[in-house]
Amino acid sequence: MPITVGQDTAKTRRTLSVNGKSISYYSIPAATEAGLGDFSNLPASLKVVLENMLRFEDGGFSVSVEDIKAFAEWGAKGGKNPREIAYRPARVLMQDFTGVPAVVDLAAMRDGIKGLGGDAQKINPLNPVDLVIDHSVMIDEFGNPRAFQMNVDREYERNLERYTFLKWGQKAFNNFRVVPPGTGICHQVNVEYLAQTVWTDTDQAGETVAYPDTLVGTDSHTTMVNGLAVLGWGVGGIEAEAAMLGQPISMLIPEVVGFKLTGEMIEGSTATDLVLKVVEMLRKHGVVGKFVEFYGPGLDHLPLPDRATIANMAPEYGATCGFFPIDDETLRYLRQTGRDEDRIALVEAYAKENGFWRGANYAPIYSSTLELDMGTIVPAISGPKRPQDYLPLTNSASAFAKVVAEHRGIDISNAAKDMADEGPVATKQVDVLKSVAVDGEEYQLRDGSVVIASITSCTNTSNPYVLIGAGLVARKARELGLNRKPWVKTSLAPGSQVVTEYLEAAGLQEDLDAIGFNLVGYGCTTCIGNSGPLQPEISKAISEGDLVATAVLSGNRNFEGRISPDVRANYLASPPLVVAYALAGDMNIDLTTEPLGTSKDGQPVYLQDIWPTNKEIADLVNATVTREAFLKKYADVFKGDAKWQSVETTDSETYDWPATSTYIQNPPYFQGMSHEKGEITNIEGARVLAILGDMITTDHISPAGSFKVDTPAGKYLTERQVQPREFNSYGSRRGNHEVMMRGTFANIRIKNEMLDGVEGGFTKGPDGVQTSIYDASMAYQEAGIPLVIFAGKEYGAGSSRDWAAKGTALLGVKAVIAESFERIHRSNLVGMGVIPFEFTGGDTRQSLGLKGDETVSIRGLDTIQPLQTVPCDITYGDGTTRTIEVKCRIDTAPEIEYIENGGVLHYVLRNLAKAS
């Protein structure tokens, strides 16, 4: 389908000649010549957005000359001009956990538009959509050569209904492709194959047009592709669906924080160590809602896989994206990964012609700046429950001792004193040892026992330097006779098949296998909670001893309750350190000074004895990571294996919803819709469903992992004769709103401050008695009583999980009042018709003395304007009242329309129905 560009853009359209071909593009220098402003000093990341404005400058596309001039004003004002603009990304990327509910919504919209008398074919992606199935493989089998095939077999057993549905969607919708299971993680497939840096297409006149590759994705780590100079970020499935249906993304021109990198990485440090430090620095700086752009001479020494590692973790440092401009390293990586030579020539010519190239004199204006000398980076980990909790490896054991002391109720100040005197062994004063038999041998588990060590996730498995490094650590350990501790569940889940290709070419997969890091599948696995069950005896010992069991993973997320229900402390680490912790088996060990184990000759083995040199790693990367490997593995990327090819599905315009399915159900959003939108009304007499603390993540709101029989979701499935072994996970059942409603606010570690010391998804019902959040919300809905939620700072951090907003809406919550919101979740709430509010004037849930027995009313919504402050009346349980001012976080005028329509998809559906 040809791209549609604006009709008033001829003054900025130019022609580029590349390898004898003439290609049109929209020129930023031409915009300056046309008198629209000086854009020469804009950061490259912002020039991508500016080009989008130039290409669509036409009243019919909601882009005006004033929008373009606003970018010149941004530079003149020192990097600030928060004008609202309409941005149109070129494509959409999905994974199956978030993609299945998005396709469910599209299928439901086809039913909905027919109900409104419209044409079902109006519900089709206008922009290309790629969905990569990467979130469904679970580590049931590990540590043996059968692991990969057995996990794949179980994946298909569990998920056949979902895969059948996705295959139907691939047939039913235009511009929609599915990358089958077992191929890789969506972000790595994107960086290695899908992304082009500069895109080309034909316009409505049939001419070829070049423009920056841009996208949004239904996964927060879509930002990884910014390492390849492709502007992309995560959105909720709701916003992505609107984008693919032609709805522009309404956004403010962002501030851009410049992060200057200098120096070079020193011996023994890795890209993971670097990114953990970057996360810490940027979280402290404050970059929520902002772009971060990396620049400086350090980039000359930073390979693209390292850049992708940093870009990947933009959600962890809170930014919309972490962008790296186009330079020689971009071209080298495109060539190495098998991109066409004509494409590479176009990227270079376009970037240099249009001002996107990072040369020696690249020095744009930034809103603010930070600087880091990469020569100061040391080995580090992050945890136990937030990515920004940075720990140099030298401090890791003593910091963990504080975690144990706090869990055991020991005065932390005394624990700190003991640690200063004795080091980590001070925790032995509170040690609880539990004997466990593994493979016939008796072992002692304790606080700090590492029970999961996983090389997983898109963040690091896309980086051959750290993967080769992990393999070399395994080789050296194997040569000395070391092995993983028997209580450690080890796994290797690469982000693409190319990783296996180069590990085998280097002979390192055999070494990894020897110490338990066998291939378990190509997918996110442990990083998203698909770590699979621990051995029953280990799980039982942890529970009986109330042990602080630990997990070490090469991922990007370590939020509470995410990795495994048996694990309380989760640490992010580089793949080589994951191997080292599997060998040590204990977080109490200081890896910088204490031995990991004993060699076959009876000698202590230290980390430095098995750590490879940077030259050893680089030599193997250069020898084994080849263009040919990428061309070979991506030759049939959409074909899939025999299992995928055997999945049968129907060929129909609308989906025949199976009544008995516990995976896929027709959601209630569009049923009974009228042609006319409603009005925003005041919230009257709302009750409090939950009072939550700071950094409540989307994992807390809508967990992705496993759940038990006694939960509302478990009861729902057992009532339908689903056995616990077949429960799968919340993430895999996101196509069924009945399961997901019951899983909302059901994280095992969430703490509702209405209850004292209670963990899990509980609250007080209308009768004041403790019950599940789901049951309480249903009772309030039956009584016709609206609900609100109070929370602290950074509400909705983490994954771009649309079900965190969908579930909130379906529980009857009308408003969330917090100290601050993370970007994606705020947008998702609005997209589902739930209004976010922020406290003002220093008010917080604590300063207001909220207990949960209050009644809340919010006035002024019937005449609401973007970012308006409105009064909120609180009536306390004793009858006293207080009125506070809250800031309505409906940020833009289009968002008011979304709320009036009941959500963004309702808005789009009504417009499409009218058009047809």
| Model pLDDT for residues 670-707, shown as the tens digit of each residue | 988 899 999 999 999 999 999 999 999 999 999 988 89
pLDDT at 426: 40
Identify the DSSP state of 194. Answer: I
Q: Which amino acid type is present at position 444?
A: Q
Tokens of 683: 């919230």
Q: Are 189 and 335 found together in one domain?
A: yes
pLDDT of residue 8: 59
Q: What is the pLDDT of residue 134?
A: 85
Mean pLDDT within 235-242? 84
pLDDT band at residue 414 under the 50/70/90 scheme: low
Please report the pLDDT score of residue 327 as a whole number: 98
Is residue 61 over pLDDT 80?
A: no
If asked whether residues 186 and 303 sit together in one domain, one would say yes
Q: What pLDDT, on a 0 to 100 scale, did the predictor assign at position 620?
A: 96
- Residues 374, 276: Cα–Cα separation, whole Å: 12
Query: Cα(first)–Cα(last) distance of the chain, in Å?
Result: 19
Query: Tell me, what's the pLDDT at 559?
Result: 79
If you write DSSP's letter for every residue of 863-902 in order, what string do you get? G--TT-EEEEEEE-TTS-EEEEEEEE---SHHHHHHHHHT
| 696 & 747 share domain | yes
At 438 the pLDDT is 81
Q: CATH no. for residue 242?
A: 3.30.499.10
Query: How does strand 869-875 pair with strand 881-888?
Result: antiparallel
Residue 868 included in any domain: yes
Please tell me whether residues 854 and 754 are part of one structural domain.
yes
Q: Are 857 and 872 in contact (CB under 8 A)?
A: yes
Print the domain residue range for 902: 683-915
Asked if residue 916 has pLDDT above 80, the reply is no
Distance CA 240, CA 243 (A): 5
Mean of the per-residue pLDDT values of the chain? 92
Higher per-residue confidence, 38 vs 251? 38
Q: Which has the minimum average pLDDT: 53-67, 335-349, 502-516? A: 53-67
| 618 has a pLDDT exceeding 50 | yes
Residue 42 lies in a domain: no
Statement to judge: residues 270 and 150 lie in one domain: yes
Query: Is 202 within a domain?
Result: yes
Q: Are residues 339 and 279 both part of a single domain?
A: yes
- Read off the pLDDT of each residue in 529-550 and give the average, rounded to a whole number: 90
Task: Write out pLDDT tens, residues 179-204.
Answer: 999 898 899 999 999 999 999 999 87
Confidence check: pLDDT of 420 > 60: no
What is the pLDDT, as a whole number, of residue 852?
97
Considering the domain boundaries, does residue 848 fall inside one?
Answer: yes
- Binning pLDDT at 50, 70 and 90, where does residue 390 land? very high
For residue 610, the model assigns a pLDDT of: 97
pLDDT, residue 644, reads 93
pLDDT at 425: 40
Query: In this structure, is residue 736 part of a structural domain?
Result: yes
> Are residues 386 and 333 located together in one domain of the fold?
no
Q: Residue 11, SS3? A: helix
Pairing of strands 770-772, 597-598: unpaired
Instruction: Mark whether 369 and 389 lie in a shared domain.
Output: no
- 367 and 447 inside one domain: no
CA distance 321 to 39: 21
Instruction: Look up residue 149 and give its two tokens.
Output: 């095939």
Amino acid at 181: P
Number of domains in the chain: 3
Whether 418 has a pLDDT exceeding 70, the answer reads no
- Span 881-889, mean pLDDT? 98
Mean pLDDT across 309-320: 94
Residue 677, in any domain of the structure: no
Query: Do 277 and 151 share a structural domain?
Result: yes
Pair of tokens at residue 444: 């002692």
* d(C-alpha 258, C-alpha 255), whole Å: 10
Does 524 map to a domain? yes
User: pLDDT tens digit string along 775-817?
Assistant: 999 999 999 999 999 999 999 987 778 899 999 999 999 999 9
Two tokens, residue 598: 């004993």
Span 372-382, pLDDT tens digits: 999 999 999 99
326 and 386 within one domain? no
What pLDDT shows up at residue 2? 66
pTM: 0.85
CA distance 630 to 634: 6
* CB distance 649 to 778 below 8 Å: no
Confidence of residue 430 (pLDDT cuts 50, 70, 90): low
For residue 165, pLDDT beyond 50: yes
What average pLDDT does this structure show over 112-132?
Answer: 93
Q: What pLDDT sits at residue 393?
A: 96
Here the CATH number for the domain that contains residue 794 is: 3.20.19.10
Do 311 and 191 share a structural domain?
Answer: yes
- Over 80: is that where the pLDDT of 172 sits? yes
> Is position 672 within any domain?
no
CB 482, CB 600: distance < 8 Å: no
Stretch (H or E) spanning 157:
helix 147-172
Average pLDDT of span 356-377: 96
The DSSP code sequence of 69-125 is HHHHHHHHTTS----EEEE--SEEEEEHHHHHHHHHHHHHHHHHHHHTT--GGGSS-
Q: Before 254, cis peptide (omega within 30)?
A: no
By C-alpha distance, which of 282, 249, 172, 212 is closest to 654? 172
pLDDT of residue 867: 94
Which of 495-504, 554-563, 725-734, 795-804 holds the top average pLDDT? Answer: 495-504
Three-state DSSP class for residue 886: strand
DSSP code at position 263? S
> Contact 519/494 with Cβ under 8 angstroms?
yes
> In this predicted model, which residue has the larger pLDDT, 204 or 729?
729
